[in-house]
Amino acid sequence: MSANNAPQPVKLSLPLEYQQHLFQELRAEDELVVIARGLGLMRLVTNLLHSYDAAGNNLIIVVGAEERENAWIGEALAESAAISGAPKARGLTVVNTDFTSVAAREKMYAKGGIYSITSRILVVDLLTSLLDPETITGLIVLHADKVIATSLEAFILRVYRQKNKNGFLKAFSDNPDAFTVGFSPLATIMRNLFLRKASLWPRFHVTVASSLEGKKKAEVIELEVPMTDSMREIQTAIMECVEVSIHELKKGNTGLEMEDWNLDSALLKNFDVMVRRQLDPNWHRVSWKTKQIVSDLTVLRGLLHSVLALDCVSFLQQLDTIHAAHSPQPGSTRQSQSPWLFLDAAHTIFDTAKRRVYASNAKANAKSSIESLRPVLEEQPKWALLAEILEEIDRDLYFDPPMRDDSNGTILIMCSDTATTRQLRDYLQTMHVEPKAENDAKHDKDEHKPSGAFMMRRKLRNYLNWKKEFAQVSNALLTENQKALEGAIDPRIAQGGYKGRAPANKRRRVRGGGVTGTAPGRTANGSVAQYFEKPNEVADLMDEVQITEEEANQKADIIADPLEDMDDYFELYEMQDLIVVHAYDGDQDEHVLEEVKPRYIIMYEPDAAFIRRIEVYRSSHNDRNVRVYFMFYGGSVEEQRYLATVRREKESFTKLIKERASMSVVMTVDSHGVEDPQEAFLRTVNTRIAGGGRLAATAQPPRVVVDVREFRSSLPSLLHGRNMIIVPCMLTVGDYILSPTICVERKSISDLIGSFKDGRLYTQAETMFQHYKNPMLLIEFDQNKSFTLEPFADLSGNLKSVNPNEVPSDLQSKIVLLTLAFPKLRIIWSSSPYQTAEIFEALKTQQDEPDPVAAVRAGLDKDMKAEDQAFNLEPHDMLGVVPGITPKNIKNLTLETENIREVANMSKEELEPHIGKEAARQVYGFFNRNLIDID
């Protein structure tokens, strides 16, 4: 298929019908493409770029690409150029912070080609006309869902569209969820992108469905794995803790939009982010307890995943560390512990997790009543099933060899993260190693089933050693606690909720009359206590899991290998003998499928996007058969989360389709709308001309000099939106220069606190006064947060008496000290970048335009002309109030004399040539006046 405008045929790798439709659509017109995850967005982008690259005379900019996407596009373009044999293709050039030299960039842009440029560099190059917007053939915007009104990308597109009306603009996104938040989100984003047409491609699109559901469907076997009872108990208990936490949040923060705050949405990926976003505007007023619960939700949702993903020993270890992290600091009251630790459900979590690893076991001989512990080491149910699947594949290959096709016969196992890949690798390597059991006689050799016993015993040994060190650290903390508690005056504190073992005379009462050995007790304040095994229990456990002969014979992992005699020892594996374990990795999974060409795919954990990638892979290749095993825990959070993701994506697309149907046409040809010349004239006329004001009726738009580092913020974009010319420069003094006399240093709240800490602000204020007449400090708040400085939170959590380390830093007093040090420093308080843009516009009226060259030189040039020399402020101000000294003659005096003492000791005759006769008389009279003389 040849591209429409390209002079020579281009070979594309778009085998499926919907991909070809999309490609033709994109070549024909500008549009925003929203496509379901997993349907091959990057393949589409690379083919489109290749079709322009092959022509060889285009300058195309890719905006918003991440590092890995750059690598992908680069590889794909090189490959396509080789296949098409396009002599003019030049591939992708990535311009990031490594390309610092301006001259090098200018040369590159002149040559043309395809460039992926970071947004900050691109916006500065466009504004300084290093890259002339009119020479650009077109822009490709990735991650279009991130283009909000204040983003750098929106700024880039506005500059581009202002100067270049003919270049193309194509935007892509594979995240439909982002287009469903807020009021008419699709129209808003399209307005920011200056596009009129949206093209939506969900999985249920007719063309997509027919492309993927043809004759070549992949063979899928769904396997629902039942969870063990203890896993189910732990999951239910964690869910209960989550539910209680959400209920507490609702109770404490009544004024918020809380329809979504329920258990169902708590399973989704970004629930804690959602809650935090809603609390953000009042985060400084929120009570200490609410902040604690929000962080607890993150921990609990992590645990929900860990129960299913980690083995029982690692899960117990994680619980130990969580418990230690949530225990109170020395000398603090019950206040600082997480509310969920006081629930019965928390007790269940800790107790059941421990029972999965080891249980107590009364000894047979009557002499010792001491309990001993025996390892239980419950295995994850999916492991056994995985071994079974692998056996089945082996049998299939042996008894029913598949037809030769283009697949490699490799087995690919996909799971959610690298920790799980390591766990599976260990399991698969050791599942046939059987530690010798005592009851060997009963064991029939033939019946050996694959098991993770060897791996689990090794993990338990490591865990017990780790716990020993952990206990030592805890004991050290306990002694610190004791000291802190003895010194505490408050009787409530003296009872103290400390962790570790209770003193001998205060043995814990165990709830429910269980055996002391296994149930985690409660501390004096009612939270779950940390449990440490007694030394003899540990010894028993260690005996149980000591290294057997078989285990000792296992090869250790090779840590480093010099690879000297490589050819003698190593050979390449045949692809069909390989089992590849890989973690889900977004778009990169497409590469994995293409390179490994698996015959069997085992999805150890469900992932909607990957299922589609398999569909696309299978439909794209006639001669590659694939069998997919799809595993999930029945009735688990994992299954719930997977179904919720699929449902949400479908709902998002449905909403988008509805909005597109009812959307008015967005007029986006001109980035500002056409402005009437007379209006432009009137905009610059100041109506308050009375009282000697001057008529500023120049129709030239106002200009602002901006420091290059400021482009991280959204303010330059908003100033540009108000028809100001932005001049990016490398400034030493100030961030924004509004006029020859006005210099502004912008600080966000976090920045303000930081620059007070390291004293940077004081020196910045000092240098601003040396070079400018009206320095200003702009304190800018976030538009989504409250416009207040001081937290009004209830101080229950951080009273000085309870915890002296948590005293809030007093920002206001530091600002007062700053204004005392620099009385002439103006402070501008702004509630958001939008308001700042308005303030700047008001400040610029009646002012001259700033000179960029002078702004850059300020603070840099030591060889300045005498009249531009900076003076020491205090003596200068002091001299300024002496009678007879005026702003005109003070400069001469300061240039000719070294200090005030010299001026005070000068005679009238010496002063006269510098400041004139009358002024000399007044100055001399002032310095030589007798203090006691009353006249």
pLDDT digits (tens, 9 = 90+) for 840-878: 999 988 888 898 888 888 876 554 443 444 566 677 778
Matching residue, tokens 């994850």: 380
Residues 6+ apart with CB under 8 A from 766: 822, 873
Q: For helices 760-771 and 811-821, what crossing angle results, to 10°?
A: 30
Contact 437/426 with Cβ under 8 angstroms? no
Least confident of 500-504, 623-627, 907-911: 500-504
CB count within 10 Å of CB 830 equals: 20
> Token pair of 820, please?
């005392």
Determine the 3-state secondary structure of 475 from DSSP. Answer: helix
Matching residue, tokens 């194509």: 170
CB count within 10 Å of CB 148 equals: 15
Residues 6+ apart with CB under 8 A from 91: 53, 74, 77, 78, 81, 113, 114
Closest alpha carbon to 724 in 745, 747, 701 = 701
Please give the single-letter amino acid code of residue 107: K
Question: Per residue in 404-452, pLDDT tens?
Answer: 666 777 889 999 888 899 989 888 888 887 765 544 444 444 456 787 8
Least confident of 295-309, 408-422, 564-578: 564-578
**Whether residue 676 has pLDDT greater than 60:** no
Confidence label for 389 from pLDDT (cuts 50, 70 and 90):
very high
Question: Per residue in 767-790, pLDDT tens?
Answer: 898 889 999 999 998 887 778 776
Question: Per residue in 819-834, pLDDT tens?
Answer: 999 999 999 999 999 9
CA distance 781 to 714: 12
305-334 mean pLDDT: 80
Contact 198/186 with Cβ under 8 angstroms? yes
> Token pair of 861, please?
């040039």
CB count within 10 Å of CB 216 equals: 16
CA distance 720 to 173: 26
Please give the single-letter amino acid code of residue 717: S
**Whether residue 603 has pLDDT greater than 90:** yes
Question: What is the structure's pLDDT at 838?
Answer: 92
Please give the single-letter amino acid code of residue 780: E
CA distance 413 to 379: 19
How many CA atoms lie within 13 Å of 124's alpha carbon, on the beta-carbon side? 22
Residues 6+ apart with CB under 8 A from 138: 52, 58, 60, 61, 167, 168, 169, 170
Contact 778/810 with Cβ under 8 angstroms? no
> Token pair of 549, please?
């002969």
Question: Per residue in 22-81, pLDDT tens?
Answer: 999 999 999 999 999 999 899 999 999 999 988 878 899 999 999 889 999 999 899 888
Closest alpha carbon to 151 in 558, 646, 720 = 720
Question: Per residue in 688-714, pLDDT tens?
Answer: 444 444 444 555 788 999 998 888 888
Question: What is the structure's pLDDT at 870?
Answer: 53
In the DSSP assignment, the letter for residue 707 is: E
Instruction: Burial-class residue 38 by CB neighbours within 10 Å (0-12, 13-18, 19+).
Output: buried
- Beta-ladder partners of 170: 140
Contact 725/703 with Cβ under 8 angstroms? yes
Matching residue, tokens 């330059």: 716
Question: Per residue in 236-261, pLDDT tens?
Answer: 999 899 888 888 888 877 777 677 77
Question: What is the structure's pLDDT at 24?
Answer: 93
Go through 847-856 and write b for each residue having 16 or more CB atoms within 10 A of its CB, e for each that does not. eebbebeebb
Contact 81/50 with Cβ under 8 angstroms? yes
Q: What is the DSSP string of 546-605?
A: PPPHHHHHSPPPP-----TTHHHH--PPPGGG-EEEEE--TTHHHHHHHHH-EEEEEESS
CA 61 distance to own-chain centroid: 25
